[in-house]
Structure 1
């Protein structure tokens, strides 16, 4: 008899965690496991790419209330959710005032989730394993019936700024906590050493066949007669795209004719555009916006750059390596777990001048550029074997 696995996910909008989930779902042996996916919202560019063997649970309207504007909720039949969201904001402010802790995105998510739990319905069904793949895992703890529960963490815990007390309360009720790299696991355990026995590392699983197929699509956005640099990610503080115009200008001042393309979307787009204008880079830094299929852009760029301030493990870097592209990343806290400096990518300083110098040095070294590509071609970055860690947990539970 097949064992049942449930994944929960907020939505399937374009992002690294969403692409990682697609790879994981493709790697599962469906002869042995029945897999279901519960999405809070049936929305997102990646919905159509979910493995057809996965059963998508019908949408439950009340789970959409995490993101709906509070005013809209108050005017609807779901007004109790709006009231709960208001109360969560009040308690969050009080917590920060009394504890002197800084309010952050993760803490905001914690309080929103906490104060919605009492009116959210249970997710139907009984499962051998349930996995909260992204976000605060309250729903996994309170609303799902499963023998084994796994919470996934996709980022460097140093950057999350959560309520530690609430984290401990939730994670104490979960069987396993999966981080996407050994560095991220170490960062997590620095704050919660008591969870060492339930902490595991499961690297992002990516589908090489999917990437190769998608990368063959024709594109016309790139301009000829220039060196093409590409960066992909949400337009947010973590990705550091607001410094791309300054870095681009410094590289061009070295005589390199580059065009730097940005794929993504987010709240920082206004800041990025203002920086493009400030540094007079309108012709050289190009925002392409959302792209459901970013892979032909990776395939056709000369250099992929991830200039992040921090990362867990950047899925886009792995994807660029899988498509045999030279890669540059900044020296963020977990950068050493992302690539081997000088072998399948280059790590450059975080500051704008150091970053520009490092990129320019690589672009001027055609031999090294070619060697990085060849080294990437010799490695399997799909991490398909990581699925065995999930199998082991399920079979031994």
Structure 2
């Protein structure tokens, strides 16, 4: 069988990392030789199958791992390299350019070059330039949504090299993890949940403001915020300022949020931008009604199914609050949620990747 390498930053909590782990596990279960090249640290490490070999980047930063990656590709006689997100893609392309024996290179694009990358300063400005300069040298560019595919075409990536493959979600693993016991304060019997980074683009401040309005009309449900990030302190301060400390719980990041999602009455995703939205599909699979801002990625997940409550405003907490109030009393049909979620099952989507190898 072919040897497949996957190159990504680490096993820290993140959507890209979950996708890469799911791919590695699926490929290994299909008897491919699989090598993961990443920093061997992070809570998601436990999700990777024990028989998948990991080559540790150690203290190397992604941007300085070019020649290390080149050596690993040669040492393991890699046939195909799958990388993501942006920096690993750039390094993978250059490592392949400098190698005598080329590997088949599949790079994956997981985000838009918009709000979030613009906030990265010089790196945010150079990313689009590097995409135009390098991406056409990959064999295949996988876009995780049609929106991302269209963005790449507009940036000059040859259309014939781009293929849209939705993120594979490992539902068998989620089913097992969702059955774990949870240690929850008994006062949090009924709650709304958010899961994700606490960063500007995730727009969690809007959710807190909307929840404050929600709480004025419905005191039954509390708010559980799972995740961490640079906005954590500011968000906690906002909760305290509004006198909601007894009603809003911050848990920090966790390897297994699924029992908490499964028990929730509602999941809210208030993001300014989402290229896909793994957590939305995961919640739907667990029969949890979802309220989301109308980002391009979540719009694609919803499709024509009306399985998600979509919010047109990214800044009006009143609009979000009203839809949350309605959704709580009008949950979506669990059968509809599960049917739509299964469209993104890793067992099916892996075949789209296999066709590229």
Distance 2:67 2:47 in 1: 32
Tell me what 2:52 maps to. Answer: 54
**How many angstroms does 1:341 deviate by?**
6.9
CA-based RMSD of the aligned residues comes to 2.2
**How many angstroms does 1:188 deviate by?**
2.3
Distance 2:81 2:110 in 1: 17
Select which of 307, 317, 323 maps to 1:352.
317
Select which of 135, 148, 172 maps to 2:86.
135
Structure 1 length as normaliser, TM-score?
Answer: 0.79
Distance 1:19 1:228 in 2: 25
**Residue 205 of structure 1 aligns to a residue in which SS?**
coil
**How many angstroms does 1:166 deviate by?**
2.3
Aligned length: 337
- Give the gaps of 5 or more residues in structure 1: 67-112
Select which of 256, 268, 284 maps to 2:231.
268
Matching of residues 73-152 of structure 1 within 5 Å: 113=63, 116=64, 122-124=70-72, 125=74, 126-136=77-87, 137-144=89-96, 145=99, 146-152=102-108
- Give the gaps of 5 or more residues in structure 2: 119-124
Tell me what 2:264 maps to. Answer: 301
Tell me what 2:142 maps to. Answer: 178
Distance 1:20 1:119 in 2: 25
Tell me what 2:281 maps to. Answer: 318
**How many angstroms does 1:316 deviate by?**
0.9
Select which of 190, 193, 196 maps to 2:154.
190
**Residue 286 of structure 1 aligns to a residue in which SS?**
strand
**How many angstroms does 1:390 deviate by?**
1.8
**How many angstroms does 1:158 deviate by?**
3.4
Larger Rg: 1
**How many angstroms does 1:31 deviate by?**
4.7
Q: Is the contact made by 1:178 and 1:201 (CA closer than 8 Å) also made in structure 2?
A: yes
Matching of residues 1-397 of structure 1 within 5 Å: 2-28=1-27, 30-39=29-38, 41-57=39-55, 59-61=56-58, 63=60, 65=61, 113=63, 116=64, 122-124=70-72, 125=74, 126-136=77-87, 137-144=89-96, 145=99, 146-159=102-115, 160-161=117-118, 162-163=125-126, 164-192=128-156, 194-224=157-187, 227-340=190-303, 343-349=306-312, 350=314, 351-365=316-330, 369=331, 371-379=332-340, 380=342, 381-394=344-357
Distance 1:258 1:30 in 2: 42
